[in-house]
Each structure stands twice: as structure tokens, then as C-alpha cells.
Amino acid sequence: MYHRYHSQLVDMYRNLRHKPYFRPSLYVCIIFSSVYVLYHIAYSRPASNSLPFDFSEGFLPLEDVSEEVWAERANQVKLAFLHAYHGYERYALPHDELKPLTGGYQDNFNGWGVTLFDSLDTMLLLGFQNEYKRALPIVERATFELPEERHAPYFETVIRYLGGLLSAHAISKDPILLDKADELADKLDSVFNTPSGFPLFGVNPSSGSVVGPDIGVLAEMASLQMEYTMLAKSTGKKRWWDRANTVIRALANADLRYTGGMFPIKWNLTTAQPHDVHLSVGAQADSAHEYLLKQFLLTARTDKASLEMYLRATTHVIANLIYVSPTRHLLYVTDTDTSPYEKRATPSHNFEHLSCFFPGLLALGAHTLPLDNLESLGINFESLGSESKFGHAGKAYKLLSQYNLKDLHLWAAEGIAETCWLTYADMPTGLGPDEVTMYTEKRSEGYLWMDAMERWRASGSRGIPPGTGDKDPVVYTEQERLRGGNRRRDYAIRRKKYLLRPETLESLYIMWRVTGDSKWRNRGWRIFEALERHTKTPYGYASLRTTEVVPPSKEDDMPSYFLAETLKYLYLMFTNEDPISLDKWVFNTEAHPFPVFEWTEEEKERFSI
Ligand SMILES: *[C@@H]1O[C@H](CO)[C@@H](O)[C@H](O)[C@H]1NC(C)=O
């Protein structure tokens, strides 16, 4: 699309420039537009000094409401799902995603109808049997073919299509869904043709030809374990189990001396060893860390190697990647480059919306694991960080073992989830930007969270731990925003879009379930109201170009994860039932719930558990 549009413009320009009137008209154009721009710079004023938005209720206490009101709110999410899905069904199906401003469509994930596959289990959960019945024949007809020159991006195909099919199958037991999942995995399988057994970037499902660099990206090569063990469990096929297990073994055997036991982003797909020292829980890394805990939980706590890797990753993050901002004491997780020769990592102080899944992950771990009694699992915390295997990591284990690990994980979860919420509450739209950069004007050692925690502990642990507790939103007036230079909010916006992403809601949902504190649920409602107010279109819901201006301008884009994840977590947060208990189900990274395994003796033998 873009290419064709672009070349038309070029042709138009080429034709025009040879006309005799071309140059004079060009000059006239330039002069007039310059005058216009200068006039506006000189005379424009912000419309008024008052807050330019109707989010002022964000400052009011978030009131508790009755169960009936929550039931009605859950119902409103169901209506939102129908609006989005019917728009997709009517204007975009069988293509991938709806264009919510123009009623068009785009094929950005293989053109097999990704929104439909991604929505199946949400339909079942919300009770939309009619939509589900209309979708099934389309699933049945899917052939998962691509023209010779095109390749399916493996990671996205697995988490959206394969994850969607497996989850819908776990809920409905419709055999066609499992048949299709098995067929899809079969067609993608040549992607594992690497010496390490890590998948390459992409594969043509028809010919089996593969593409991708020798250097793989962590999230893309290590977020398949849940889907493949689920597929193995459901089909009984050991070959799928082996695909997951190869990845888990390779991760467990990697040389992590230079990164203190945490996985960096880049990996050599030949050697199965790290290729850089860039550490992050955000883009390109996120779900690989997520799947460590979730793989342990999904396998009914049999995959202990994944649990140990989870404890190493979180220990490194807590000791090195979590910081406190100077004014409001916002807790945030950032990314670093760890030099093998330096003790301390160099942080970017960027904080990504994508990283907002992380507080939910920590809370899920604190809820499900005996973090304050790891011995009961046969794990000695301090020996997880052995110096010979993980470089200078030992210090972090000594430091963290001064604390009750369950409390520490929950405090980090609470503090970071609060910051994720504030990046929404600080915006006049009530929706959060995609990435911010935290200010560090008084840059000092003190802003590493564990340093602040150590001072707190040394002072007798009085008051709440640093970085935790409720903080007030800071919404700049339009004038303040335009003038700039205001630092009360503690951060500058680095990417101002809101892409209908789920991560903050995901964490609010888990915080609500784990702590039972209704403030998290109330905040979820505020976000839903903002979604309805600012992203809804006649056809569906649209991403925003900015969260900072009301009304915000929209993008012609409704990602399938909005139906798979964002709306699902909202519904689960508001409904008074608990249909997907965190103790009995585990969400894949696209929010497709898989039931925790119940092993039979025969299965344990087959998969060597
Ligand atoms: C990956 O490792 C192999 C084997 O050691 C090596 O030959 C290759 O150059 C490495 N790839 C890159 C891009 O460094």
C-alpha cells in the first residue's frame, strides 16, 4: 500500500516539474506557507488556562461501588468486545486486522485472519457463542499457506495463532481447534533447523524455507515453551515436548557470567550462547522472562529448571534494573548494558509500556511461589547465584537474602504497577504513552531501588518501603505542556502513542486478584472509560497518535491483541466471578489461558517428567 502510494506521488511530481508554471507556483506556495506558519507561531495561544480535558475526576478518590455496578461494568466490556469484533467481522474478515477509522483492513500477520484466531477464547469466555459458531468454519478452512517469497514471523504466529487455537480448544474441547494447532505447528517446524534448536525468525509454511539472521532476539526465540508443552499435552505427541525442552535446556546451559545470571537480548543461534550484554524486561526480551515462571506453573511445578531461571532473572532485575525517580519516588524498571569489566550497569532510565507486564509477573510469582520458603522446593537461594557460573551476581543474592523475598517481590510489583497507572492518570486522555524517560537530575547511587531499600532497612524499616504507596497524578495544563521544562511529573515522554496495549491492565488485574485491594480494579475502570471516550470509532477502536492532547488524533489501526488481551483483562477485572483463576490457569504472553496440567502416570513416563 505505502509503496504504491509513494510511487504515485513521485510520478505526479515528475510530470509537474516539466510544466512551465511549475517553478513560479512553487515559489508562491513556499512564500504563502511561510507567512501562514509565522502568523500562527506569533499569534497562537493555548485555548484557555483551565484543564483542557474532562479527566478531572481522576483526582477524586476512586470510590468503591457495589457488586451490581461491577457486573454492569463487566457487561460494558462485553459490549465493547462486540463492537470491536463485529466491526472486524463486517469490514475486515477474512483479513488480519480492521482499520478502525476507514473500515478497511490490513494483512500484517500472514493474512490468515489473525483477529479471529486471537479472539476465539475471549468469545468463549464472554459467552458469545454465535460469534464463535460463525468463526469455527473459517478456522476449519484455514490452510496456513503463504506465497513462496513470504515468511510467517514465527514468534507472532505462535503466540497469536497457535496460542489462540490451544486456549480455545482447552475451553471448548472442539477437536478441530487442536487439529488446526497441530497442523500449524507442523507447517512451522522447519524453523527449528538450527544447531542450537532455537527457532529462526521466519518460515514459509508451504515450502518450509526459513529466513532470519544468525543472531536471534530473546523474546522471539524463547517464548514458545508454553505453547509447545500445551500442544504436546493435548495431542500426546512427544515431538512437541522435545521442541520446548530443547529451548529450556539451552537456556539453562547458557554462559551467563557477564550478565549476572540474567538473559541478554541477543543470542547466537549456532552456539546457543549470548551475543550481547543488553538487559531488559521490555521490548525484545519481555516474554522470555515471563515464560520462565509460567512454564513452571503450567507444568504443575515440575519444570524446576525454569523456576530457577526465573529466580535468577528477577534477582538480577531487582538488584540492578529497578530505580526510584527523584520527585514522586516512582518505581520503574529500565534496561542496561552490563559491561563484563564494570561492577555497575549503565541504565538508560527509559521505561516502556511493554515493561508494565512485569509488576503483574512479580505479583503472580509472589502469589504462587513459596518465595519466603524456597527450601520447601529444595532450592537454596544464595547458591542460585554461584560466582563461578554467574560472575559478580553473588552480591545480589546476599543483598536480597536480607529481606523476606515474597515481601520484596510484592513491594516491587506494587511500586511499578503504581507507576504504570500514573503514566495513564498523568495524561489528559487518561491513557498512557508507549515509553517515557525518567529524570535523574540528582543522579546518584541513591536512585537504585535496592540502595534506597538498604537505607530504609538501616533506619529500622520505619514507614512504608521506598517507592511504594499511593502517589498523586500530575496532569500538566496545555500551557505547561507547550512551555515544557516542567519536571514535577518525573519523566519526559519518549514515545507518545497509545497502541491499545494491554500490559498495564494486565498488571492491574493481577494486582487486584493477588492483593484484593479494589483500588487496582477502580483504576482499571478509569482506563476503560478513557478507552471508550478516546479510542472508539464507528467501526471499532483505534490506537492514538498521542496521549497528551484532548481530543487525541487516532491511527487507523486496531491490533488483534486489543481483543485477545486488553478487553479480556478488563472483563476479568470487573466480573464478580473468577472464571480464570490464577491458581488453575496460566496466560500465554497473548493472554490466552492454558489450564494447569494434571499429569497422568503414563504422560509422566512419556515426557520423562
Ligand atoms: C556464532 O557462533 C559461531 C560458532 O562459534 C560463529 O562461527 C559465528 O561467527 C557466530 N555468529 C556471529 C554473528 O557472531
pLDDT along the chain (609 residues), means of 10: 34 44 54 50 38 42 82 98 98 98 98 98 98 98 98 98 98 98 98 97 98 98 98 98 98 93 97 96 98 98 97 96 95 86 78 98 98 97 84 87 98 98 98 96 72 95 96 95 90 97 98 97 98 98 97 98 98 98 98 98 95
CA of 321 to the centre of ligand 1 (A): 29
Best mutation site among 194, 198, 201, 214 for ligand 1 pocket (most ligand atoms within 8 Å of CB): 214
- Residue 241, domain member (yes or no): no
CA of 211 to the centre of ligand 1 (A): 17
Atom of ligand 1 nearest to the CA of 213: 13
Give, using CA atoms, the residue closest to atom 7 of ligand 1.
Answer: 270
Atom of ligand 1 nearest to the CA of 268: 1
- Residue 60, domain member (yes or no): no
Give, using CA atoms, the residue closest to atom 1 of ligand 1.
Answer: 268
Atom of ligand 1 nearest to the CA of 275: 14
CA of 214 to the centre of ligand 1 (A): 8
CA of 270 to the centre of ligand 1 (A): 7
Q: Which helix (H) or strand (E) holds 186?
A: helix 175-188
Atom of ligand 1 nearest to the CA of 215: 13
Instruction: State how far the Cα of 565 lies from the Cα of 590, in Å rounded to an integer.
Output: 6
Atom of ligand 1 nearest to the CA of 271: 2
* C-alpha cell belonging to residue 448: 537504585
CA of 186 to the centre of ligand 1 (A): 28
- Residue 142, domain member (yes or no): no
Best mutation site among 255, 268, 273, 275 for ligand 1 pocket (most ligand atoms within 8 Å of CB): 268
CA of 218 to the centre of ligand 1 (A): 16
Cβ atoms of residues 170 and 161 within 8 Å = no
- In this structure, the number of other CB atoms found within 10 A of the CB of residue 30 comes to 10
Domain containing 355 equals: 254-495
- Which residues lie below 8 Å from residue 143, measured CB to CB, with a gap of 6+? none
CA of 264 to the centre of ligand 1 (A): 16
Cβ atoms of residues 96 and 134 within 8 Å = no
Give, using CA atoms, the residue closest to atom 10 of ligand 1.
Answer: 268
Cβ atoms of residues 93 and 116 within 8 Å = yes
Distances (CA, A) of 459 to 404, 456, 462: 17, 5, 7
CA of 268 to the centre of ligand 1 (A): 6
- pLDDT given for residue 2 in this prediction: 30
As annotated, the binding site includes 589
Instruction: State how far the Cα of 432 lies from the Cα of 20, in Å rounded to an integer.
Output: 51
Instruction: State how far the Cα of 234 lies from the Cα of 597, in Å rounded to an integer.
Output: 10
Instruction: State how far the Cα of 424 lies from the Cα of 172, in Å rounded to an integer.
Output: 36
Best mutation site among 196, 271, 273, 275 for ligand 1 pocket (most ligand atoms within 8 Å of CB): 271
Instruction: State how far the Cα of 575 lies from the Cα of 598, in Å rounded to an integer.
Output: 27
454 burial type by CB count under 10 A (0-12 exposed, 13-18 middle, 19+ buried): middle
Instruction: State how far the Cα of 121 lies from the Cα of 17, in Å rounded to an integer.
Output: 56
- In this structure, the number of other CB atoms found within 10 A of the CB of residue 194 comes to 18
- Residue 158, domain member (yes or no): no
Alpha helices in 321-431 (DSSP H): 358-368, 387-390, 394-400, 405-425
| Count of structural domains, the chain | 1
As annotated, the binding site for Ca(2+) includes 589
- pTM (two decimals): 0.90
CA of 74 to the centre of ligand 1 (A): 52
- Residue 596, domain member (yes or no): no
Total H helices, total E strands in the chain: 24, 18
- Residue 86, domain member (yes or no): no
CA of 262 to the centre of ligand 1 (A): 21
Atom of ligand 1 nearest to the CA of 269: 1
Best mutation site among 255, 270, 276 for ligand 1 pocket (most ligand atoms within 8 Å of CB): 270
- pLDDT given for residue 46 in this prediction: 36
- Residue 263, domain member (yes or no): yes
CA of 267 to the centre of ligand 1 (A): 10
Q: Who lines ligand 1 at CB under 6 A?
A: 214-215, 268, 270-271
Give, using CA atoms, the residue closest to atom 14 of ligand 1.
Answer: 268
Give, using CA atoms, the residue closest to atom 6 of ligand 1.
Answer: 270
- Residue 149, domain member (yes or no): no
CA of 213 to the centre of ligand 1 (A): 11
- pLDDT given for residue 62 in this prediction: 58
Give, using CA atoms, the residue closest to atom 5 of ligand 1.
Answer: 271
- pLDDT given for residue 27 in this prediction: 58
CA of 224 to the centre of ligand 1 (A): 24
Instruction: State how far the Cα of 59 lies from the Cα of 510, in Å rounded to an integer.
Output: 24
Instruction: State how far the Cα of 438 lies from the Cα of 494, in Å rounded to an integer.
Output: 10
